[in-house]
Structure 1
Amino acid sequence: MTPTTVTLLLLLGGAPAGNESSAEGNTATKATACHDDDARQLGGHTFQFPILQQSAFVTTHVGLREGVARYDVPDLPVGRLGTTDVLLTGVQQSVDLGLAFTDWLGVAGFARGTVITGANARSLLVDGATVELVGQAGAIVRVWRNEGSGTQLSLRGNFGYQDGSEVTVLPLVRGILNNPLLTVEDVVQGGIGEFILVPRTETSVNGGAFLAQALGRTFSLQASANGEYAWREREPFDVATGARVTQKTHAARVNLTAALTADFASLGVPVALIGEYLFSTGEETEVGLPDRTLRSSTVALGVYYSGRPNLQVGLGAATTLNAAPRIGLGEEGQPLESGDPTLSYAQLILRYIW
């Protein structure tokens, strides 16, 4: 467990007890608890934050998510060697924040760091590693809330930015083999060493509608529909010109998500289960390839402690089926797609809501 997680746990559980004889202190505590209950409660049901979508609630919160991932890429083209299966593993840490200005208007955002690398020597040689930092921030507006029916509808809009680098080993090896007269000094000091790091960035905007519907005290449904447009830049090294070239691509995506929750706190068991499904579709461009249609399905399951309405802590796991293929190189150096990858990941989730 990282120091940031330990610190947040201490903040959540280590606050000193107040003077029980102080009427003013007790009154303030009750008022705060009431506010916590109201923030995510409809029809007597307290909603949990899903994994695969943002929520319809305007909250002030801070959260941490720590995860590990497994990424299987079948049939990745690797030039004259044909194709090979690649296994990547990764670690990820995210911090998310929310600030409610009123009960109907707020802002929210997150920052995430990810490291993905080949899980064995072959995968590391073929697909290298990736390091990236992602940030996103935006506003949420509650447009409708009905206590009687247990319904809330909100709109969100976000701006995102991603900065990272690919660590590529195979292009460097190819460059050395194509020029057997190279020395160690040539590789270290010359331009061929530029093959190793490939900078890449992505700027995106997204927005959509988010629904929360209580189905009694035990069950609830959360759903969303949002669209996203992303601009990407990648700067690989071109040995012919001895400089980096900028490759610009873009992607348009539509995400449809649903999450069904069963919270047994009302039955005396402080455990909540969330089953989620995400369908994504859209279109993106790739250098040297025709525009391709994106279509993937993701399923997730979360298990959370629900004994405190202002605290969310639990474990979640998700698997993405038929994700977007990776781009490899054919026998003539032309870009070719892999088979459909499978991405699986698990997270420890800790979030405090004021």
Structure 2
Amino acid sequence: MLFLHFPDRTSRGKYAFHLFQISSATDTMSSEHDPSSRPAKRQKTSSDEPSTSSFERDPSFWFEDGSIILISNQRTGFRVHLGVLSLNAEFFRDMSGLAVPDAKGDTMIDLEDSTQDLTHFLHALYTRSYFCAGTPTSYDTLESLLRMSTKYLAQQLRSDVIKHLTMIYPSELADLGKHTDLILPHSDLHSLHAITMGREHNVPIILPAAYYYASTLPTTELIANAKPDILAMILAGRENIVVAAYNVAWSWLYQECRGSSMCPNVKRCYRKRLGVIKEIAKSPGTVHCLLLDAMPHDGEGERDDDDFSGYYSDDSDEESFCRPCLLDWSSDEDESYKQLWHCLPSYFDLPEWKVLLKGRE
């Protein structure tokens, strides 16, 4: 057995070395410098050839015209085409010059990858419809594809997976929550999986939104499911968001006698603001969810962008804001929310958005 350490492209500089065990027709290699160390020659037998009995053939990826056999760490063999691999994954483009073929011209390579990872990876390379960005895909599949595309330099596949993840964990506030239909399976813990993917496979652009989603989870769930270092980051970020909510996003609530210059009843609108503050105080544990919830002055329902009919009326209504104040405060709050989002990475000790966007790929 010949053991080789194949480094990933040094020009990339960010991928670890991968250990491959390459089976060849001989079990030993003689030393070129010490003749006494050379083993005695023996007649080659059939046992010297790579044996397919040492692994189980994968039923989906065993092509008779395949030229390379990939063997998972669970001893499942995939007989595929080196041309297909090298066309899609840069790492495999030099394999023909490094590996020793058997008598049939096949190359057998023992990989450290799981059967599941190899199955997902090969499906993505051979089956065009297997994964498309923007189509609901399980997180297990996404993680396998991201891991394998990163490891073997399958740049197009990696870009597609990142595109999919950034739809769920966007860099723009306006896109937050637009693609929750892509979360599969539907689980409150999806953000923890995304954090792991982003950290382990160098996709920092998804981390701010993923951390934010995670910060909205109950503390008991976080303690039960998050790693200690990730848990600490989430809880610290949550506290930062709460502070920003009161100091930035909702500051208009606490500015005495602040209202529109066209307000017909300043005292009434001020009382209404005090009522909103009271409602917020009833559930302080949900303040950090503000980016996913309706604005405080939206009451029990939701409004269309141009429809404020449910939240103001004439001067005889003591329960609603006047229209001028509602318009002014909504505009102020929208800008404050954008400011909070702009600062979101810093709440979780991450680089600012422009740095994350620059290193997106």
Q: TM-score higher than 0.5 here?
A: no
Higher helix share: 2
User: TM-score, normalized by length of structure 2?
Assistant: 0.25
Q: Greater relative contact order (Cα 8 A, min sep 6): structure 1 or 2?
A: 1
User: TM-score, normalized by length of structure 1?
Assistant: 0.25
Higher strand share: 1
Q: Which of these two proteins has the greater Rg computed from alpha carbons?
A: 2
